[in-house]
Structure 1
Amino acid sequence: MSGTLHFGPDNHIKARNVKGDYAVLVIQAVLMMTAIALISSSVHCKNVKPCELQTALDFIYLKYSTHPCKYNAIKEMSSGFLGLGIILLCWNAILFLLTMCICWWKFGEKKQIIAVLILYIIIIIGTFAIFIVNLEKYIRFMKEREAQRDVDYIQLENEMMSALEQNFRSDNTSSNDLKSSAWNRFFIEHNCCAVHDVMGTTNDFDNTPWCTTSGSCQDTSSQIPRTCCKDVTLNNYTSAPSTCHASVNSGTYKPNCMDQVRKRSVKNIDEYQLGILSLSLLFSMILQILEVTIMTVLLFLPCCGCKNEK
């Protein structure tokens, strides 16, 4: 019929790029595997244990101004990465099934072709929306990874000193004062004493409530906690020699705690896990771009089978 569009089955089968549909299937399958890798690395980062330094500082209830673990910001972002991975996996699983239907669909009816075109548009819009979210998270991830700074030990030293002066009230590990008890246990477990080196009867404990308000230091029977003496344990620290806690003779007490703190690791996430996370985010974006590009091309190909009959 002259002047009308004719949708012939043979024309449409020839016009549609079947290879393009199968290429999309492959991309979607790889995207699902990438999403699984993203989910796995995100779960690992989300459930990672605190770094050694954080564990030590939390033990004495220290309120630090900057987080001691190197990649803590990425750990906090991991829930978002996990959500993105789940969305990627579910979305591409659905698209995979739909694309398989498209590949096996026998075209010829105008309604069928229109339905496929609408489906292509939905796939393009949905995939592009996820790509935008993926891109935003990748940029944030890279910024946080590059922005990691070394621990400011001078600031940390000041914070520890302030905490000691405010909270140390007893040299008893079983004290009802949790913070004092924690400090004493810290001295024993980390084999250290005070924040700075003890140089004699004048030391870091002079301005603590233990020395200024009440305690064995305030009544001058001790100058440093008994838990600071060498070779003491939780079981025998009460029998520490007076030459240590009272006279503060050189060589009888432990070195400062700041040196021990500096030895604690600040890493809570392995570099290879960060690499997997980074590659998963980047690779998924590349695949999404390819998918949208191919689907956009396929969106217009069916029209190639349409022709005017005169």
Structure 2
Amino acid sequence: MKAVRLEAIGVLATRDIAKPVPGPDDLLVRVEACGICGTDRHLFRGEFPSKPPVTLGHEFSGIVEAVGSGVSGFAVGDRITGDPNIACGRCPHCQNGRVNLCRSLQAIGIHRDGGLADYVIVPQKQAFALPASLAPTHGAFCEPLACCLHGIDIAAIKAGSSVVVLGGGVIGLLVVQLARLAGASTVILSTRQASKRALAEELGATATVDPSASDVIGQVAGPDGLVPGGVDVVIECAGVRDTVEQAPRLVRAGGTVVILGVMPQGEKVEIEPFDLLFRELRVLGSFINPFVHRRAAELIASGTIKVEKLVSRQVSLDEAPQVIANPPGPGEVKVLVVPSGTR
């Protein structure tokens, strides 16, 4: 079978490798679609810990082709989405319900072979059913949506809240929809790209701002801004220095900042601790997706979260390394890799 292999930092290629064999508690899944994530680019550049050589791809869904002898609840032909983050269940963090902080966390597509391939192995405890009627490509959005759900959960958005979303990529556009579902009456998205601002408004943003036009702080929180004095919640989804530094300055006193975007490991930002103290801001990190993958699958399956317009293009496994090795194109939201057998 074909697989996109990270052979070493900066070395990525599509290879022919052996088709995997499921263990007793595993599903063998024929991949229908797998999203290319910003984390894949970080992995390629050595900016996020991984264990090459490994097949990339952690945003995937597909059809069960074989099941192990100990599997129950799944059958050949089922469509599933896989939660890639496998916790040990034994360490202190796991015992305290903080499975995303597991000391021995293993992620499909990062530490073990992932979904940028014709087939992927998914432990049955990591699999969640999707309806047969669902568009094959939509299941690949469950994993990024689950990460967004965790961020929304810890943001504790209340009915009538005001929210700023920094970043117009797939994460930002999913967060816009979730913030509205959580009850926010004002959701403002900030991004430089006009096409993404238009899409955000179509998906539920009440307003958008262009950070390249003028100061975002003034546009949002200034005396003549959209929400003078600042918003209740800021969710940083871009994973870049400028937006991380902007986030505390956009929120009101007593408000909440959630860092959801992934910056390269080791990169630093400047934040004024006195401001955090004096205005008693909550600044929270949101890491992956503990206990929310089933909810994400249900939101995708029901059509409550709109994903069709988030697909910028579909590419083959052969084309995937070139996509990962380069920055996203202008206006690009999500590139899906669709193996040749399902194109």
Q: Normalised by the size of structure 1, how large is the TM-score?
A: 0.24
Q: Which has the higher contact order (CA 8 A, sep 6+)?
A: 1
Q: As a proportion of its length, which structure holds more strand?
A: 2
Larger radius of gyration: 1
Higher helix share: 1
